[in-house]
Amino acid sequence: MKRTVYAADKVGFHILHTLFQTSMKYDRIHRFDEYFVTSLIVDGGACAGVVAMNLRGGTMVAIQGKATILATGGCGRVYEFTTNGFIKTGDGMALAYRAGVPLKDMEMVQFHPTCLPGTGILITEAARGEGGYLVNKDGERYMQRYLPSKMELGPRDILSRAMIQEMKAGRAFEGPYGLYMGLDLRHLGAKKINERIPMVRELVEKYMGLDPIHELIPVRPGQHYIMGGVSTNGKGETTLPGLYAVGETACVSINGANRLGSNSLSECLVFGAACGLAAAGFAKKKASYPRGAAAREALKKEEARVFDGVLGRERAKETVAGLRVEMQQLMERDVGIFREESALADACGMLGKMRDRFAAVGLADKDRVFNTELTAVLELDFMLDVALAIAHSARNRRESRGAHSRTDFPQRDDANYLKHTLAFRTDGPPRIDYVPVTVTKWQPVERKY
């Protein structure tokens, strides 16, 4: 059965352009380009729209709505090394979290094994699907040590862990960006590489200055996707009436503890449609528009917080880049591919301190128009909330399951942990709770390979 779409190895590129161009065909779709959402408007226990910064105008606006859908993507940038773009800072997750909606299964973070060192650019699975080998510095196809039945076609989590183990065993290459493994396509030949995976060759030539027809591709694992997110049901509904979430920012739970490659497409298409219909139905049933007073109040509060507070802060002790890098390195080291109690405890404590230190972050650029330093500070604020939710959720799950690998609890423990984590925001550390997993047709079974 076909489970994805195919347009050479540039599928995402074509989807993005088709979606954008389609949105331009309909004049009833009003896009707010260059607007950055800073908070939700909550009135009488329901979501009544968003407050956003008009980056071009340097102003703050309230956008009211009977129903609001968060579709703000993942949060890969909380990690130092990721395949995700700079915009993936978990904004939607933090927006919902601050409005009292729990984040579900945040410990379930997927790492992809084949990323280019330095940039984090992803080398698609298709490279291994077409027959590429993973080799260590001795030229050995090391996956025979970890997963002989599947070798390079094993799942992302096992391949990523195997890479870390090879690195720890001293069998990795070393380059200007640290340790890496080799992805060998040379035996496939120029014709196959050019016809089947042209973008792999293009990316490696452009970003590494190497030709995979003749040379090994340096690769290492990087954060790629988060299975967790804003807790929703199958229609994208959250616990806050009028607020919906979909796509990578949501956790509708189709990915469990480990997403299969390409399932984001189904996530966005299937649940995007379900969520859109549910939100439209909700809005239609609401007779009156949200109160203007609530929007004005939220707007005033955000202007004071962002323009007077963050932008106006004098005598700053911290820089946004300094604190961000510290957080990213901590997440990579202590809440990364392998996890254990003392590192997780350390991460939870350090992140709590960083949360406090954030209050001393100052800006060199005081302009309101297209102030990228200001958006970076607001994104760091969102990321700190998200990182805390990830670290505390990971610390509390004392078992290994899917992408969550605890060296101190290596076994899956269905008796105690066949349940979803929920992280709730408090004034201190997140409050962690659990809800049961709904098992329908497919019974959970142990992964035996």
Ligand X SMILES: Cc1cc2nc3c(=O)[nH]c(=O)nc-3n(C[C@H](O)[C@H](O)[C@H](O)COP(=O)(O)OP(=O)(O)OC[C@H]3O[C@@H](n4cnc5c(N)ncnc54)[C@H](O)[C@@H]3O)c2cc1C
**Minimum separation from the CB atom of position 345 to ligand X (A):** 30
Non-local CB neighbours of 299 within 8 Å, separated by 6+ positions: 51, 60, 61, 62
265 binds ligand X (CB under 6 A): yes
**Minimum separation from the CB atom of position 256 to ligand X (A):** 15
End-to-end CA distance of the chain: 23
Look up residue 336 and give its DSSP letter: S
112 is an active site residue: yes
**Minimum separation from the CB atom of position 332 to ligand X (A):** 17
Among 39, 68, 84, 255, binds ligand X (CB under 6 A): 84
Using CB under 6 A as the criterion, what x/- string covers residues 201-230 for binding ligand X? ------------------------x-----
404 is an active site residue: no
List beta partners, residue 247.
Answer: none
Q: Measuring CA to CA, which residue among 134, 178, 182, 140 is closest to residue 156?
A: 134
Among 101, 122, 134, 159, binds ligand X (CB under 6 A): 122
Among 6, 7, 12, 292, binds ligand X (CB under 6 A): 12
Q: How far apart are CA 165 and CA 171, in angstroms?
A: 9
Q: ∠ CA(296), CA(297), CA(298), 5° rounding? A: 95
**Minimum separation from the CB atom of position 397 to ligand X (A):** 22
126 binds ligand X (CB under 6 A): no
With CB under 6 A as the rule, give the number of residues binding ligand X.
22
Q: Catalytic one among 128, 324, 401, 420? A: 128
CB under 6 A: which stretch of 85-93, 156-164, 192-200, 429-437 binds ligand X? 85-93
Among 107, 152, 237, 248, binds ligand X (CB under 6 A): 248
Q: Would you state the torsion angle of the CA atoms of residues 400, 402, 405, 406, taken in this order, to the nearest 10 degrees?
A: -20
Please answer whether residues 95 and 39 qualify as being in contact, where contact means their C-beta atoms are separated by less than 8 angstroms. yes
Q: How far apart are CA 302 and CA 132, in angstroms?
A: 51
- Of 343 and 378, the one with the shorter C-beta distance to ligand X is 378
**Minimum separation from the CB atom of position 382 to ligand X (A):** 7
430 binds ligand X (CB under 6 A): no
Tell how strand 103-104 and strand 229-231 pair up.
antiparallel
Considering only residues 25 through 64, tell me which ones interact with ligand X, judged by CB under 6 A: 36-37
283 backbone dihedrals φ, ψ, rounded to 5°:
-65, -40
Would you put residue 151 in left (φ > 0), alpha (ψ -120 to 50) or beta?
left
Please answer whether residues 395 and 385 qualify as being in contact, where contact means their C-beta atoms are separated by less than 8 angstroms. no
User: Could you give the residue numbers annotated as active site?
Assistant: 112, 128
- The residues of the shown chain that bind ligand X, judged by CB under 6 A, are 11-12, 36-37, 71-73, 83-84, 87-88, 91, 122, 225, 247-249, 262-265, 268
